[in-house]
Amino acid sequence: DIQMTQSPSSLSASVGDRVTITCRASQGISNSLAWYQQKPGKAPKLLLYAASRLESGVPSRFSGSGSGTDYTLTISSLQPEDFATYYCQQYYSTPPMYTFGQGTKLEIK
Amino acid sequence: QVQLVESGGGVVQPGGSLRLSCAASGFTFSSYGMHWVRQAPGKGLEWVAFIRYDGSNKYYADSVKGRFTISRDNSKNTLYLQMNSLRAEDTAVYYCAKERGTYCGGDCSSDYWGQGTLVTVSS
């Protein structure tokens, strides 16, 4: 099974900061990676898919990059509504299996 | 607009059974694979099961294999999760989620999620 290791597990930042979250797969996943945002009591929301493609309606301050086993989510200038938990997820496995990272809780400094 | 509405959660004793439903609307249900994903209280997301758009193939996490069964009724636009032999560690909010692309077969992200239904396994 493909394991996903996300770092950091928590992060404190201020409005306007640039923030980067990293996700590492236990084997290459050919950009089959998504990033989700989840707020307390709500369902996850898709932000990016195929590692770097922005989902419709998601602000352009969110971006993704990476290849092979290492991927990053960057928020260029934090807004108050961005404080949430972020998860990466791989969908490369055959047979189909979703594997999520353990999450990164982004908190206000 | 796309809507996914889960139902069927509740409190059940260890060893018991429960069937969750996910009613879909706003898209051609029969063209998309569907997932169940769960989240234990205060924990992260865990994939549970996937079913192809036509129900031809089903896949499960090791933690639920042999106890849970995913199914769908494309005539009713509804996804199901039959959960048997429930354990305390199955306590979680269960979400259904739609594949982002048509006929992906599991190699797509999920663009729409339901609001979740809480399953509590406790004596």
How far CA A69 is from CA of A25, A51, A91, in Å, comes to 5, 11, 13
Average per-residue pLDDT for chain A: 96
Stretch A31-60: mean pLDDT: 96
Name the pLDDT band for A88 (thresholds 50, 70, 90). Answer: very high
Residues of A in contact with B116 (CB under 8 A): 43
Contact A91 B46 (CB under 8 A): no
Which amino acid belongs to residue B14?
Answer: P
Chain B, window 56-95: residues with a beta carbon less than 8 angstroms from a chain A beta carbon: 57, 59, 61, 95
A41 three-class SS:
coil
- By C-alpha distance, which of A32, A30, A25, A47 is closest to A106? A47
Q: What is the mean pLDDT of residues B78-86?
A: 98
Report which of B41, B106, B71, B7 is spatially closest to residue A40, judged by C-alpha positions: B41
Tokens of A18: 């640039």
| Residue of A85, A12, A97 whose CA lies nearest to A43 | A85
- The pLDDT score that the predictor gives to residue B83 is 98
> Are B107 and A92 in contact (CB < 8 Å)?
yes
Distance CA B25, CA B34 (A): 13
pLDDT tens digits for B6-55? 999 999 999 999 999 999 999 999 999 999 999 999 999 999 999 999 99
Provide the pLDDT for residue A49: 95
| pLDDT confidence band for A100 (50 / 70 / 90) | very high
DSSP state of A15: T
Taking the C-alpha atoms of residue B3 and residue B20, their distance in angstroms, rounded to an integer, is: 16
Beta-ladder partners of A108: A13
Residue A22, token pair as written in the block: 């990293």
CA distances from A42 to A14, A49, A73 (A): 23, 20, 21
Instruction: Share the mean pLDDT of chain B.
Output: 96
Q: Do A95 and B57 touch (CB under 8 A)?
A: yes
How far is the CA of A83 from the CAs of A92, A102, A106, B83, B120, in angstroms? 28, 17, 5, 34, 28
Per-residue pLDDT, A77: 95
What local confidence, expressed as pLDDT, does residue A11 receive?
Answer: 96
Query: What pLDDT does A108 receive?
Result: 87
Q: Looking at residue B64, what is its pLDDT? A: 97
Residue-level pLDDT at A93 = 86
Among A58-62, A71-75, A93-97, the least confident range: A93-97
